[in-house]
Amino acid sequence: MGILDTLGEVAGAVAAVEGAEKLDPNAGLLTKGLAAVAGFKGAEALESALGKKKEEAADADAAPADDSQS
């Protein structure tokens, strides 16, 4: 895990907490904590999905195309 992955996950957690505070200005500590965990895990899942898409695209570019028609 690199520093950029960690920064992305922390940014997701911060964004989720800010969103929770905007929706409910009187949000409690538990609500903010749950939002932080959800944002952290959501950013992690998003980075994983983007990584898989990038690998699939690289594999598709590396595979030879069969353009012959019979």
Please state the three-class secondary structure of the chain as a single string: CCHHHHHHHHHHHHHHHHHHHHHCCCCCHHHHHHHHHHHHHHHHHHHHHHHHHHHHHHHHHHCCCCCCCC
- Amino acid occupying residue 37: V
Note down pLDDT in tens along the chain; length 70 residues.
588 888 888 999 999 999 999 999 999 999 999 999 999 999 888 888 888 888 888 888 776 655 556 5
pTM of the model: 0.67
- Look up residue 18 and give its two tokens: 């800010």
